[in-house]
Amino acid sequence: MAEPTSDAIWVEKYRPRSLADMVGQEGVVPLLRAYAARRSLPHLLFAGAPGTGKTTAALALAHDLLGEEWRQNFLELNASDERGIDTVRTTIKGYARSAPIGGVGFKLLFLDEADNLTSEAQGSLRRMMERYSSACRFILSCNYSSRIIEPIQSRCAVFRFRGMSVDDMRRQLERVAKGEKLTVADDAYAAIAEQADGDLRRATNLLQLAAAPGAPISRASVEGATTQPIRPEVEAMVTLALAGQFFDARERLYRLFVDRGASGEDILRAVHRYLPDLPEATIATREKIALIDHLAEVDFRLAQGASERVQMESVLARLALFRPAPGARPA
């Protein structure tokens, strides 16, 4: 595998080239290494959140299994770009039916974001997985395995990728920092882990954004580089809303949109993480449950393209409506 240039994006520059170099995913990597050692594997289905190593695992497996011939025997496609049945019948079929090069006896086809394939395309893909299994092994990657039809799942060994732990994330970030000769404070690693929420790709990108030539990376530089709301900002906004100061809370919300550059989804996730930590004297458990139910509805609306500002204002309005009366005891 060719080495990336010195000015490459760090996510690609420090992507592990072998399964032995991967961090985390202790329940997945050893099995993949066993497949590579035996030079034999079934069709695979990788499921998990973004940034947990699914693509890296596929590329590293291809490199370990196929060696120097991996480029001639590995095809990567993204189903988000080509999700229809024509792609399956032309590009995928043409590759799967051609003979492999070298001594392994089969090629690898990696289909990223396979959960975006239409049901018709998945049905056609299932038939190809059966017909061409002797010459080609399929590796499917998805965020939601429930969107993959059952006949495909039953033909694959399913591996579920978990979000990266703080320790595993720090190990990889320290490797990047050593390679780039960076000085990173302990609280900066903690701040990156808080913002990344198990997404190693996001963590690496944030480290690169926070890096300045000749300057150490601190918690302040990390928080200044991120577009996501940080905990104190969310706490202040929610506290104002719960105190009935809706318009002051809305002003804080607008600052997150404009000054921080945060998206509605980012702010919603931050509020969702903060709500359970509110003391019972501030808001009762029953009301927290009702609020979380409302957040789920808002999350769906945002996914359907609703206005971020209007939807997030509705969250603040709901918080203000749950404000306890003076002297009232929590439910």
Look up the pTM and report it: 0.80
Question: What pLDDT does 331 receive?
Answer: 39
Q: Which of 279, 275, 268, 277 is nearest to 314 (CA)?
A: 268
CB 164 within 8 A of CB 54: no
Phi first, then psi, for residue 156 (nearest 5°) are -120, 150
The SS3 of residue 118 is: coil
Please tell me the distance from the alpha carbon of residue 228 to that of residue 218, in angstroms, as a whole number.
17
Per-residue pLDDT of the chain (331 residues; tens, 9 = 90+): 444 445 678 999 999 999 999 998 998 999 999 999 999 999 999 999 999 999 999 999 999 999 888 988 999 988 766 655 666 777 888 888 888 887 788 999 999 989 888 888 899 899 999 999 889 999 999 999 999 999 999 999 999 999 999 999 999 999 999 999 999 999 999 989 988 888 999 999 999 988 877 789 988 888 888 877 778 888 999 999 998 899 999 999 999 998 888 889 989 988 998 888 888 878 888 888 999 999 999 999 998 999 999 999 999 999 988 755 444 444 3
Q: How many Å separate Cα 121 from the centre of its chain?
A: 24
By CB atoms closer than 10 A (0-12, 13-18, 19+), residue 29 is: buried
DSSP characters over 78-106: ETTTS-SHHHIIIIIHHHHHSPP-SSSS-
User: According to CATH, what is the number of the domain 10-161?
Assistant: 3.40.50.300
User: According to CATH, what is the number of the domain 166-225?
Assistant: 1.10.8.60
Question: What pLDDT does 83 receive?
Answer: 57
Question: What pLDDT does 28 receive?
Answer: 94
Structure-block tokens of residue 302: 């945002």
Question: What pLDDT does 323 receive?
Answer: 56
What does DSSP assign to residue 5? P
Domain ranges of the chain: 10-161, 166-225, 231-321
What does DSSP assign to residue 217? B
Across the strands, what pairs with 110? 76, 139
Question: What pLDDT does 229 receive?
Answer: 77
Within 10 Å of residue 21's Cβ, how many Cβ atoms? 14
CB 121 within 8 A of CB 88: yes
Question: What pLDDT does 176 receive?
Answer: 94
The amino acid at residue 88 is: V
Across the strands, what pairs with 136? 107
* Assigned fold of 231-321: Zinc Finger, Delta Prime; domain 3 (1.20.272)
Q: Do domains 166-225 and 231-321 have the same CATH topology?
A: no
CB 191 within 8 A of CB 198: no
Q: Which of 240, 243, 276, 275 is nearest to 255 (CA)?
A: 240
